[in-house]
Amino acid sequence: MGQDRTRAVGDTDLEKYRARYGLMAVVISNLAIAAVAIFGVWRLDGDKAVIVGVLTAAFTAVSGMTTAYLGIKAVSNTARSIALGNGAARRPKEPDPAAPPVQRAP
């Protein structure tokens, strides 16, 4: 029993580290994309058509990366809760052995 408890605490800490560093990687990547977009806009000297393209690409990259991280994290959390047996509400209920059997029409 003690080993299971230690493993559960270790798994919880591991999940915290994964979440923390995964989020940190996404934030740093988004900041890098924003910095490159700002530098690109600054170097274009007012060419509005190209500036719109650069900003659109930067927004798409940031939203895509953030959405991917959140989606992967949600799926990971769901899979982990199912694997640990926390998905009892979704399991089909077993029939009550004391209840009479259901009559079926021929």
CA 39 to CA 33: how far, in whole Å?
10
Taking only the tens place, the pLDDT of each residue in 20-32 is 999 999 999 999 9
Q: What is the pLDDT of residue 89?
A: 55
Written as six digits, the tokens of 63 are 């939203």
Low-confidence ranges of the chain (pLDDT < 50): 1
Written as six digits, the tokens of 20 are 């923390």
Q: What is the pLDDT of residue 91?
A: 57
Q: What is the pLDDT of residue 62?
A: 96
Written as six digits, the tokens of 33 are 């994309």
Q: What is the pLDDT of residue 34?
A: 95
**Global pTM value:** 0.65
Q: What is the pLDDT of residue 81?
A: 84
